[in-house]
Amino acid sequence: MDFRLNETQEMFRDMVRNFARKEVAPLTQELDKKAEFPWKNYKQAAELGILAMTLPEEFGGVEADSISYALAIEELAWASASVADSIMLVEALTYLLHTYGTREQQQKWIPPLVNAEILGSFAVTEPNAGTDAASMQTTAVLDGDCYVLNGTKAFINNAPVADMAIVFAVTDKEKGPRGGITAFIVEKGMPGLSAGKPEDLLGQRSLIVGELIMEDVRVPKENVLGKVGEGFKMAMKCLDNGRIAIAALALGIAQAALDESIKHSKQRVQFGQPIANFQATQFKIANMATEIEAARLLIHKAAFLKDQGVKFSKEAAMAKLFASDLAVRAANEAVQIHGGYGYTKDYVVERLYRDCKITQIYEGTNEIQRVVIARHVYNESE
Helix %, strand %, coil % of the chain (to 5): 60, 15, 25
Task: Judge whether 349 and 363 are in contact, CB under 8 Å.
Answer: no
- The residue type at 94: T
User: Residue 115: how many CA atoms within 13 Å on its side-chain side?
Assistant: 9
37: left (phi > 0), else alpha (psi -120 to 50), else beta? beta
DSSP H or E stretch at residue 217: strand 209-220
Residue 177, pLDDT score? 82
Q: How far apart are CA 190 and CA 199, in angstroms?
A: 23
Q: How many helices and strands, by DSSP H and E, does the chain display?
A: 12, 10
Q: How far apart are CA 63 and CA 69, in angstroms?
A: 10
Q: How far apart are CA 47 and CA 68, in angstroms?
A: 18
Q: How far apart are CA 116 and CA 186, in angstroms?
A: 18
Query: In DSSP terms, which residues pair with 106 in a beta bridge?
Result: none
Task: Judge whether 35 and 209 are in contact, CB under 8 Å.
Answer: no
Task: Judge whether 82 and 38 are in contact, CB under 8 Å.
Answer: yes
Residue 133, pLDDT score? 79
- In this structure, what DSSP letter does residue 82 have? H
Residue 338, pLDDT score? 98
Residue 363 designated active-site: yes
Please name each of the domains of the chain with its CATH number: 7-114 (1.10.540.10), 120-229 (2.40.110.10), 232-381 (1.20.140.10)
* DSSP structure string for 168-195: EEES-GGG-HHHHEEEEEEETT-TTEEE
Q: How far apart are CA 250 and CA 209, in angstroms?
A: 19
Q: How far apart are CA 101 and CA 70, in angstroms?
A: 24
**Ordered per-residue pLDDT tens for the chain, 382 residues:** 789 999 999 999 999 999 999 999 999 999 999 999 999 999 999 999 999 999 999 999 999 999 999 999 999 999 999 999 999 999 999 999 999 999 999 999 999 999 999 999 999 999 998 878 778 999 999 999 999 999 999 999 999 999 999 999 999 999 988 889 999 999 999 999 999 999 999 999 999 999 999 999 999 999 999 999 999 999 999 999 999 999 999 999 999 999 999 999 999 999 999 999 999 999 999 999 999 999 999 999 999 999 999 999 999 999 999 999 999 999 999 999 999 999 999 999 999 999 999 999 999 999 999 999 999 999 998 7
- The residue type at 45: A
- Mind listing the pLDDT tens digit for each residue in 150-193? 999 999 999 999 999 999 999 999 998 888 999 999 999 999 99
Task: Judge whether 343 and 267 are in contact, CB under 8 Å.
Answer: no
The set of residues, in sequence order, having a beta carbon less than 8 Å from that of 330 and lying 6+ positions away, is 253, 254, 257, 258, 288, 291, 292, 356
- The residue type at 243: R
In the set 36, 315, 363, 367, the catalytic residue is 363
Q: What angle do helix axes 81-100 and 39-47 make, rounded to 10 degrees? A: 50
